Structure 1
Amino acid sequence: MKWVYIAAGIAMFVKMLLIPNPTLNLTDVSIVELVVQDSGVPNAVSGIIFRNRLYDTIFEVVVFTIAILGAYYLLANEKPTTTIYQFTDQPSIVLARLGATITALVSIELAIRGHLSPGGGFAAGVAGGTAIGLVAITSPSVWMQALYKRWHAATWEKISVLIFIALAVVTLSGIELSHGQLGTLVSGGAIPLLNILVAVKVALGSWAAILLFIRYRGLL
């Protein structure tokens, strides 16, 4: 079997040397314009991530999920830390909560309008995770854990991943929603929905990781 792998590698190398890659004639048209027309969203980056390279994006979401599971596995045999130091002075608490509010609003904006302007699901999820982190460093860990369980965040995280994968598979199979009018909020087919699902997944996954590391390692 080893020789089969070696032969395949040599054949691929010869192919790269002898067969040139096809090139496009870009004298009259822009790649960005093609992506915008093809995806139906002004943000060409979102069009590429959630349409042209959607297959890659599926595995990016899966990798993030595996990373959270890996954190659980890494800390499974450790004892929770007995002392968790947090910000207790009022100015720090006020500033952190204010920053969390602003960041949460930015996260929502990036999620629902990421297909129209710079932003998107991953950026929105990171902003949401940052907001949760700012609240976590100024709040009792027991209260944060209880809130996490009360809102069934772990369940919603899993549901968002399953819906994302299902919607992505439908899109890859050639079934697309109507693109609508370019530049409007309800446009771009499934891209806005994929943006929101990724934002929910990343934010809730970040919440789980933050609680996990605070519980076992304290505030680093």
Structure 2
Amino acid sequence: MKILYLLAGLALFLKMLFTSTTIAEIEELSIMETIIQDSGVANSVSGVIFRNRLYDTIFEVVVFTIAILGASFLLSNETPTQVVYQFTDQPSVVLARLGATIATLVAIELAIRGHLSPGGGFAAGVAGGTAIALVAITSPWEWLQEIYKKWQVATVEKVSVLIFIVLASITLMGGELPYGQIGSLASGGIIPILNILVALKVCLGSWAVILLFIRYRGLL
């Protein structure tokens, strides 16, 4: 069998070595320029995520939602921990709060302008979740839990998912908003709205997971 494997590998190597590679010649537009014109956004990655492979993006959001529900289900029968590990020294608290402020500003920037420059909803949500985590390791978790319940964050998260799925489904069925001028903040039709919804979902979902792990594990 080893000889067969070696012969197969050698044959594949020779094929790659001597087979000529043909490169398609695109006369008028490059692939990136085609995506930009087709989606109406300057960031071609956002065009791919929220248009060319929107089916994948819908299920990515759904999978993230299921992961949060799974974490809540698996930890629901455990006893809450009595010890929560946090930073208490003043330098660490100041640095963590400063980092949270910067991460929040980055999250807002990526969510609003993700269709114009590198970034987007998922990156913005991760930045927002990082900000919440930095606050969590320097603050009483009961305070974060109180804010979470007071502002109905769980409900807002689920509503954002439903709105995203509805808008994405309308887009897949051919519904479009005016693209506007490529490169402007109002360009891209529905893509900026989808960006913000994904950012909201990922950020608030991260908040839920952070609270779960602090409550039942005592750490992030």
Q: Which amino acid aligns with 2:83?
A: T
State the secondary structure of the residue aligned to 1:81.
coil
Aligned to 1:8: none
Report how far residue 154 of structure 1 moved.
Answer: 0.3
CA RMSD across the alignment? 1.1
Aligned to 2:171: 171
Superposition TM-score, scaled by structure 1 size: 0.88
Aligned to 1:206: 206
Gaps of 5+ in 1: 1-22
State the secondary structure of the residue aligned to 1:62.
helix
- 1:164 and 1:28 map into 2 onto residues whose CA distance is 35
> CA-to-partner distance for each residue in 1:137-195, whole Å, 9 max, x for gaps?
00001111001101110000001000000000110000100000110000100000000
State the secondary structure of the residue aligned to 1:46.
helix
Report how far residue 82 of structure 1 moved.
Answer: 0.7
Alignment of 1:123-138 (within 5 A): 123-138=123-138
Paired residue total: 198
> CA-to-partner distance for each residue in 1:56-112, whole Å, 9 max, x for gaps?
100000000000001011111110001112111111111100000000000000000
The structure number with the bigger radius of gyration is 2
- 2:47 and 2:188 map into 1 onto residues whose CA distance is 8
Q: Which amino acid aligns with 1:201?
A: K
Aligned to 1:53: 53
Aligned to 2:9: none
Report how far residue 25 of structure 1 moved.
Answer: 4.9
Aligned to 1:74: 74
Aligned to 1:185: 185
- 1:64 and 1:57 map into 2 onto residues whose CA distance is 11
Structure 1 runs, 4 residues or longer, greater than 4 Å off: none
- 1:80 and 1:149 map into 2 onto residues whose CA distance is 18
- 2:38 and 2:28 map into 1 onto residues whose CA distance is 17
- 1:51 and 1:25 map into 2 onto residues whose CA distance is 25
Gaps of 5+ in 2: 1-22
% identity of equivalent residues: 74
Report how far residue 27 of structure 1 moved.
Answer: 3.8
- 1:174 and 1:56 map into 2 onto residues whose CA distance is 17
Aligned to 1:35: 35
- 1:45 and 1:66 map into 2 onto residues whose CA distance is 25
